[in-house]
Chains A and B, each alone.
Chain A
Amino acid sequence: MHLHKYEKIWLLFGIGSLIVFLVVIGVGAFYKGTHPQSHMMTIDPENIEANEAFQPDNLGLTKVDDKQYIVNVAASAFNYDLGKNDDGSLVKKLSIPKGSTVLFQVTSKDVVHGFSLAGTNVNMMVEPGYISSYETILEEPGEYTLLCNEYCGTGHHLMGAIVEVTE
């Protein structure tokens, strides 16, 4: 098959760029270890308490160490269960000091949800039967919107909370 000389140059440039892109992504993934979240951990969606992380007392923000936090979340239509405050009311806002390493662990009790902390790379699908988890360092102080970004029903847009990164 005949290829025009310019076409060869064009394809060489194009395919060359694709290879460069793939190498960058590949080094990021396999050398630096930054894959999209995927831990293949399963859970019974009708009995998430069987997993220690999702027992009612362990939901929400837990301080593990200095600047080390875990956030366990039970998602269900149309709410993120972040545990209860001392006065028994539902937690709707988390406060985390800046520079903290935070591990988010989320699962669903019913349908598919999203878990997106707008303005950060925390963006996961949450599916019944699986635990989604992502560890990140929250560097920038400010107010972040935590929201469901996968359609979960007619109240989908009401599903959210606030994460405040404090000075």
Chain B
Amino acid sequence: MLSETLQLTKANKKLSLAFIAVAFISLLIGGLMGLLQTLVRSGTLTLPWGIDYYQILTVHGVILGLVLTTYFIIGFQYALMGKTVGMTVKERKIAWLGFWVMLVGTIMTATTILLGKANVLYTFYAPLKAHPVFYIGLALVIIGSWFACFVNFHQLYRWKKAHKGVKSPLLAFMVVANMILWLIATLGVAATVLVQFIPWSLGYAETINVLVSRTLFWYFGHPLVYFWLLPAYMAWYAIIPKIIGGKIFSDSLARLAFVLFIMFSIPVGFHHQLTEPGIDPTWKFIQVVLTFMVIIPSLLTAFSLFATFEITGRKKGFGGLFGWFKHLPWKDVRFFAPMIGMLAFIPAGTGGIINASHQLNAVVHNTIWVTGHFHLTVATTVILTFFGISYWLIPVLTGRKLTAKINRLGIIQTIIWTVGMFFMSGSMHIAGLLGAPRRSAYSTYSGTEQASDWIGYQIGQAIGGTILFIGILLMVYIFLNLTFFAPKGTEEFPIAEEEKDAEPTPKFLENWKLWIGLTVVLILFAYTIPFMDIIQHSPPGSPPFDWPIGNS
């Protein structure tokens, strides 16, 4: 089935490229903000022209966490769907509509941040009040992304109707799984933005229920990170094996992992709220248990990938205990960048388990350890895989070739990224364990000895941040080269196939109604009672506060 891949039409290529171009522009802007933050925190830079630290921090979080990721993922997924199940003219039109809705939303939100009217960071916790246009813009980004959900659902539905009884292509299955996850998760943030924030910021509602808004946000906030991670998993399961000259280890296991992610990545938001005063600790613990369930599909993934690597290497005749590992195509950036991403997920995932460990969370909550953690997960594992995808996807979309020179630059880029992140994330982790807070401008905290100990690590972060910014410049250069300047040619769209004698994939794995039903049951189980508790034991609501963020 996978062998019957389609050709991407010119119009489809343009669609995916538009999304990915926005992602790379975001990378440059967001990365620059990141660099400035690390310099401010090292105590060596004061921002000019009255720009506030928290303004650039808001830009950094919104543009990298929400804009870059969402645009890249949607663009990549359209390419996967176009390649495996095709795209009709009508579907493409709706996809473009979604693109424009998202873009208008992004520009609205960005404008309020640039005007200093929305220094609320990307979590926009109430009762800090940004300009209403900030929230309306965010709502449009989310609603625009739903267009992509429905287009992807329709694409698979249409293909299944034309191929009755045939197993769906693995990548199309994965894209639909990720978009189901996204749709269910974004209902939470859409609810808080549309029902709570927008009326309240416009003055139609006098107060806001702070804990309800936070709970709805984190109902979305954790599956959000899996929405980032799953496209990386798509590449690892179904694209990397082709690049290294192997086969998919197990189609069923890959599908099972994705199904488990839909079910267990949502009913776990309380592990971001462990140190909050208004949630019953027993329910926190229940969600901690569910959080640990979501580690299982990652364990499955780790096994499958290394099994693919070993089987492929041994088939090629590389014996010995580690011969297969040594002979992986380390010099092919399409493999090298995602592979470093995979390896980074080992410490990154371990840190995640620590963060979610109920009482242990108090040791690291809101320290810069957490920032170090997600710079390993999303800003290394996920982004290096996205870069790895870009090296072949952009040439495919632009009808150009990945030259040996760009391949070499890509490898250098990956090494720069790894070194930069080692310094930055490493210093963040250590400083966090010493108690240094995240999301805070340079401060000596009335000259305590502890605070002066943190500054050394903040200089470490600035060194790492500077190296990473060089990596970003290099990546933007590579993007421009692959888009406009690389020689014309045909680049392979690598999609791995199953072994000829592979075990058949059980039909129940494609029973979406079952998986969505179980997901809803789990969500209702994890959230109904504590949510009713929160509402029944609500304190008086909060009026808007605009002066603390300089928005009065």
Question: Do residues A157 and B450 form an inter-chain contact, with CB atoms below 8 A?
Answer: no
Assembled-state Cα–Cα distance A78/B549 (Å): 11
Chain B residues within 8 Å of chain A by Cβ, number: 79
Does A29 contact B358, Cβ atoms closer than 8 Å? yes
A150 at the interface (CB under 8 A from B): yes
Stretch at the interface among A10-18, A59-67, A81-89: A10-18
Contacts A7-B307, A26-B285 given: A1-B256 contact, CB under 8 Å? yes
Contact B506 A38 (CB under 8 A): no
**Which chain A residues lie closer than 8 Å to B121 at the CB level?**
151
User: B445, A160: Cβ atoms under 8 Å?
Assistant: yes
Given A1-B506, A4-B307, A156-B441, residue A127 in contact with residue B366 (CB < 8 A): no
- Docked CA distance A149–B435 (Å): 10
CB distance from A128 to the nearest CB of B (A): 5
From residue 96 to 121 of chain B, which have CB atoms closer than 8 A to chain A?
119, 121
Pair A125/B276 contact, Cβ less than 8 Å: yes
Q: Specify which of A4, A36, A78 lies most central, judged by the most chain B CB atoms within 10 Å of its CB.
A: A36
Q: Which of A36, A143, A154 contacts B548 (CB 8 A)?
A: A154
20 contacts between A and B (CB under 8 A): A1-B503, A6-B303, A22-B288, A29-B285, A40-B533, A92-B446, A110-B127, A112-B126, A118-B450, A123-B366, A127-B214, A127-B278, A143-B449, A147-B437, A152-B128, A153-B545, A153-B547, A153-B548, A157-B441, A160-B443
Question: Which residue of chain B is the closest to A160 with respect to CB atoms?
Answer: B445
Partner of B435, one of A15, A111, A118, A143: A118
A162 on the B face (CB < 8 A): yes
> Would you call A151 and B125 a contact (CB within 8 A)?
yes
- The chain B residue with its CB closest to the CB of A156 is B440
Bitwise interface map of B from 38 to 73 toward A, beta carbon under 8 Å scored 1, else 0: 000000000000001110000000000000000000
- Kindly state whether residue A73 has any CB partner on chain B within 8 Å: no
Interface pair B252/A116, CB less than 8 Å apart: no
Please tell me if the beta carbons of A21 and B357 are within 8 angstroms of each other in the complex: yes
Chain B's closest residue to A155 (CB) is B548
**Structural contact, A46 and B540, CB atoms closer than 8 A:** yes
Task: Judge if B292 is at the interface, Cβ distance under 8 Å.
Answer: yes
Total A-B Cβ pairs within 8 A: 237
Residue-wise, chain B 274-285 has the 8 Å CB interface mask toward A (1 for contact) of 111111110011
Q: Are A11 and B542 in contact (CB under 8 A)?
A: no
B529-552 near A? 1/0 per residue, CB < 8 Å: 000010001111110010111100
Interface centre among B52, B296, B299, B505 (most CB of A within 10 A): B299
Could you tell me if A1 and B253 are in contact, using CB atoms closer than 8 angstroms?
Answer: yes
The docked-state distance in angstroms from the alpha carbon of A17 to that of B253 is 21
With A and B bound together, what is the CA distance between A157 and B445 in angstroms?
A: 8
Interface residues on A, range: 35 or more
B511 within 8 A of partner (CB): no
Q: Nearest chain-B residue to A161 (Cβ)? A: B446
Within the complex, which residue of A37, A38, A129, A149 is in contact with B367, where a contact is CB–CB below 8 Å?
A149
CB contact under 8 A between A40 and B278, given known A2-B250, A29-B359, A151-B439: yes
In whole angstroms, how far apart are the Cα atoms of A148 and B441 in the complex? 12
List residues of chain B with CB within 8 A of the CB of A145: 435, 445, 448, 450-451
Is there a chain A Cβ closer than 8 Å to B365's Cβ? yes
**Other-chain contact of B445, A42, A131, A147 (Cβ < 8 Å):** A147
Cβ-defined contact, B357 with A37, below 8 A: no
Q: Mark A27-61, 1 if CB is under 8 A from B, else 0.
A: 01110001111111111111000000000000000
Contact assessment for A119 and B539 in the assembled complex, using a CB-CB cutoff below 8 Å: no
Also in contact, A77 and B288, with CB within 8 A (given A145-B445, A154-B119, A157-B442): no
Judge whether A125 and B548 touch: CB under 8 Å: no
Q: Which of B274, B538, B545 contacts A110 (CB 8 A)?
A: B545
Q: Please, which residue of chain B has its CB at the minimum distance from the CB of A46? A: B540
B450 touches A116 (CB 8 A): no
Contacts of A7 in B (CB 8 A): 253, 300, 303-304, 307
| CB of B430 closer than 8 Å to a CB of A | no
Give A79 to B115 CA distance when docked, in angstroms. 26
Taken together as a complex, chains A and B put the C-alpha atoms of A116 and B362 apart, in Å, by 9
Which of B426-469 touch A at CB < 8 Å?
Answer: 434-443, 445-446, 448-451
A43 smallest CB distance to B (angstroms): 6
A29 to B451, CA, bound (A): 31
Q: Establish whether residues B289 and A22, one from each chain, have CB atoms under 8 Å apart when the complex forms.
A: yes
Interchain CB contact (< 8 A) of A22 among B292, B362, B363, B442: B292
**Closest beta carbon of chain A to B44's beta carbon, Å:** 16
What's the nearest-Cβ distance from chain A to residue B481, in Å?
38
**Whole-angstrom distance between the alpha carbons of A28 and B505 in the complex?**
42
Whether A28 lies near B359 (C-beta < 8 A) is yes
The answer, yes or no, to whether B361 is at the interface (CB within 8 Å) is yes
Does B210 lie at the interface of the complex (its beta carbon under 8 Å from any beta carbon of A)? yes
Given contacts A1-B506, A121-B362, contact A37 B277 (CB under 8 A): yes
User: Within 8 Å CB of A119, what residues of B?
Assistant: 434-435, 450
Quick check: is B353 within 8 A (CB to CB) of the other chain?
yes
CB atoms of B450 and A129 under 8 A apart: no
Interface residue? B211 (CB, 8 A): yes
Report A167 CB to chain B, min CB distance, Å. 17
Chain A residues closer than 8 Å to B210, beta-carbon distance: 112, 127-129
Q: Is A124 an interface residue (CB 8 A)?
A: yes
Please name all residues of chain A whose beta carbon is closer than 8 Å to the beta carbon of B441 when the two chains form the complex.
156-157
Q: Which residue from B277, B279, B281, B540 sits with its C-beta under 8 Å from A126?
A: B277
| CB interface residues, A 68-126, toward B, < 8 Å | 77-78, 92, 110-112, 114, 116, 118-119, 121-126
With both beta carbons as reference points, the residue of chain B lying nearest to A18 in the complex is identified as B292
B94 interface contact, C-beta 8 A: no
Contact B448 A25 (CB under 8 A): no
Which residues in B have their C-beta under 8 angstroms from that of A46?
540
Q: Which 3 residue pairs across A and B have the least CB separation, nearest first?
A: A153-B548, A129-B539, A118-B435
A44 touches B539 (CB 8 A): yes
Residues of A within 8 A of B440 (CB): 147, 149, 151, 156-157
A129-B540, A153-B549 known; A116-B366 Cβ under 8 A: yes
- Give the residues in chain B near A40, CB-CB below 8 Å: 277-280, 533, 537
